[in-house]
Amino acid sequence: MQRLRELGWIEGRTITIECRWAEGRSERYAEIANEFVQLKVNVIVTWGTAAVVAAKRATMEIPIVFAATGDPVGTGLSNQLPDGAGKRIGLFREIVPDLRRLAIMTNIGSPIGALEMSEAQAAAHKLGLEVLPLEIRRAEDIAPAFEALRGDAQALYVVSEPLAGTNMVRINTLALGLRLPTVHGLREYAEAGGLMSYGPNIPDLFRRAADYVDKILRGAKPGDIPVEQPTKFDLVINLTTAKALGLTIPESILARADELIE
């Protein structure tokens, strides 16, 4: 919305913006997308693979701009979260050098969850790590998943998607209770108590999505606008969490970090 204002689209004057929040419940995506169709909006802006798919199912007429998705299917920006799994695990192993058994938590009902789980497993196996899959489908599955994990894993990779995002504080609290270092794809998870995150800068992707909206509202054909890749990636380390876990972050990692949370 800030970027749209810079481009001359002022809410209440030159543009009307209808905002909806699915509260991390993927079953609400179709309902919201259909509501936007009924409102006859000019452009739908969303993010996340499941939300994009729901929007595409709701309309073939209204342009859909995704600010970030792990599995690009239209006009917008890829977040490259699945592709970054190997980079994340490689950086994480520098922090936890004796890592041998890695748990990977994902919402298996999420399209991006299943995709990134596969990428993370492949990356972990390349490094000779034993993988312990933790599959969840709803918030109520999170605590039992940690109970089943107790004592078996040395660290936890959390796939970034709406269910995990809505419950990120809970996931990090439970992990800390089991003294499990965590690695994530988005900085918001590290800000919520995770040990480390490496991935695209989401605010930057949303600002770039506003440029897509501007072009479409000024007459550009959506099909002529290519999907773009992220250009800004952030490595974030939560030093408070590291201290609580008794971990010393290597200087090589500290020097590369874009942000250190203390």
C-alpha span between 210 and 204 (Å, rounded): 10
Contact 114, 85 (CB under 8 A): no
User: Residue 68: which of 197, 203, 192, 159 has the closest Cα?
Assistant: 203
> What's the confidence (pLDDT) of residue 92?
95
- H or E segment to which residue 190 belongs: helix 187-191
> Above 90 in pLDDT, residue 109?
no
> What's the confidence (pLDDT) of residue 126?
93
When pLDDT is cut at 50, 70 and 90, the band that residue 49 belongs to is: confident
Q: Identify whether residues 221 and 248 lie together within a single domain.
A: no
Calculate helix-pair angle for 28-39, 49-58, nearest 10 degrees: 40
Q: Identify whether residues 24 and 53 lie together within a single domain.
A: yes
Q: Identify whether residues 19 and 105 lie together within a single domain.
A: no
> Above 80 in pLDDT, residue 203?
yes
Q: Identify whether residues 195 and 227 lie together within a single domain.
A: no
> What's the confidence (pLDDT) of residue 78?
53
When pLDDT is cut at 50, 70 and 90, the band that residue 114 belongs to is: confident
Report the CATH number at residue 249: 3.40.50.2300
> What's the confidence (pLDDT) of residue 79?
46
C-alpha span between 44 and 37 (Å, rounded): 9
Q: Identify whether residues 21 and 106 lie together within a single domain.
A: no
| 3 state SS of 251 | helix
| 3 state SS of 131 | strand
C-alpha span between 8 and 2 (Å, rounded): 10
- What one-character-per-residue DSSP string does 48-86 give? SHHHHHHHHHH-SSS-EEEEEESS--SEEEE--TTTTHH
Domain that holds residue 23: 2-79+202-231
Q: Identify whether residues 63 and 170 lie together within a single domain.
A: no
E-assigned strand segments in the chain: 44-46, 64-69, 75-78, 101-107, 130-136, 155-158, 182-184, 196-200, 233-238, 259-261
Q: Identify whether residues 50 and 166 lie together within a single domain.
A: no
pTM score: 0.82
What does the pLDDT look like over 162-175, one tens digit per residue?
889 999 999 999 99
Beta bridge partners of 66: 46, 76
- Average pLDDT along the chain: 90
Mean pLDDT throughout 182-193? 95
C-alpha span between 157 and 113 (Å, rounded): 12
Q: Identify whether residues 75 and 128 lie together within a single domain.
A: no
Instruction: Provide CB contacts within 8 A for 83, sequence distance 6+.
Output: 119
Number of domains composing the chain: 2
> Above 50 in pLDDT, residue 53?
yes
Mean pLDDT throughout 114-134? 92
Contact 163, 138 (CB under 8 A): yes
Q: Identify whether residues 95 and 124 lie together within a single domain.
A: yes
What does the pLDDT look like over 11-43, one tens digit per residue?
999 999 999 998 878 889 999 999 999 999 999
